[in-house]
A and B are shown apart, each in its own frame.
Chain A
């Protein structure tokens, strides 16, 4: 449990989550969500939760991002929000 790494990755996580919600391009939001998921996985492996980190890496940063990109491909890509 090394607290400088922890604090740095937590800051990056907050920045990625705010970024995923503010971009106007839905494909960019999906990719930023994938990076948010990956940094969560890093955070959990620092805390020692290796099973949870493995699951989040395969499910969140893998399959979940592919579902988002497939759904954005089938609907529209731009948003005014």
Chain B
């Protein structure tokens, strides 16, 4: 297999190098990629949408249909991970491990017996390390600021690099940090599985719902100037607000999908213990 792989790679590389001699020189302002359609986007974005960040305006307004299906792809990836890995709870009786806090003795209870929550016994995972106070306290202090920064990135996507995807991933990463520094059980108690699945679908439907709202207001699908009547502003500012609404939808969908995929992969579907 290695020799076949080597031959294929060398032949493809030679073909690509032969084709690359025809490419325009690097960073040439007159190359065909820079003179065909992008001058229109650069010059007309401020007049038509009043959003200074050209990439956000093109992503959410001029090419908004593309972004809607990308959000659907990310939602379906979360659903596929759930279907591949999740094992329902009733298949095997649960074995619980408890640890006496004062003496350090570990107890194993089979067949689903449990001790009611008390101050003497704490529940631990099968693979257990003593909790580190510095990591737990540091992450507890840091997570609200990470979430605040994620919300800032979503809201400020019009004027600085950022937008829906980046902010959504940062928000999802804050909950993943909670699951890594504490238990997976603590993070699931904060954001339950049902809430994450519903949030994922709500994000996609906010995006499609904005487009359908524009359709109901007698314009094209995802043509945000139809929102001028609803929001009582002129059509150019209505496009800016429409971009903000779909970015919020994208952010919610991405946040929920990242947490969902992490929960399923790190517990291999059982939701008993994480990393």
Chains A and B touch (C-beta atoms under 8 A apart): yes
State the A residues within 8 Å of B (CB). Answer: 1, 50-51, 53-55, 58-59, 62-63, 66-67, 69-71, 73-74
> Quick one: which of B162, B173, B275 contacts A62, CB cutoff 8 A?
B173
Chain B residues within 8 Å of chain A by Cβ, number: 23
Provided the pairs A63-B172, A63-B173, A67-B261 are in contact, do residues A54 and B161 lie with their beta carbons within 8 angstroms?
yes
Q: A50-B161, A63-B258 are in contact. List 16 more A-B contacts (CB 8 A).
A: A51-B55, A51-B166, A55-B166, A58-B169, A63-B173, A63-B176, A63-B262, A66-B176, A69-B275, A70-B265, A70-B266, A70-B275, A71-B265, A73-B266, A74-B266, A74-B268
* Consensus secondary structure, chain B interface: helix
Interface secondary structure of A, over-half rule:
helix
CA distance A51 to B266 in the complex (A): 29
Among B161, B169, B170, B262, point to the contact of A70 (Cβ < 8 A). B262
Which of chain A's residues has its CB closest to B167's CB?
A58
Q: Is A62 within 8 A of B161, CB to CB?
A: no
A62 touches B169 (CB 8 A): yes
Chain B nearest CB from A2 CB (Å) reads 12
Cα–Cα, bound, A1→B146 (Å): 32
In the complex, A71 Cα to B170 Cα: how many Å? 21
Known interface pairs A55-B165, A73-B275, A74-B268; A66-B170 also in contact (CB < 8 Å): no
Select from chain B the residue with minimum beta-carbon distance to A66.
B176
Q: How far is the CB of B114 from chain A (nearest CB, A)?
A: 26
User: Which partner residue on chain B sits nearest A6 by CB separation?
Assistant: B26
Task: Assess whether B161 is in contact with A51, with CB atoms less than 8 Å apart.
Answer: yes
A36 to chain B, nearest CB (A): 18
19 contacts between A and B (CB under 8 A): A1-B27, A51-B162, A51-B163, A54-B166, A55-B169, A58-B166, A58-B169, A58-B170, A59-B169, A62-B173, A63-B169, A63-B176, A66-B180, A67-B265, A70-B262, A70-B265, A70-B266, A74-B265, A74-B266
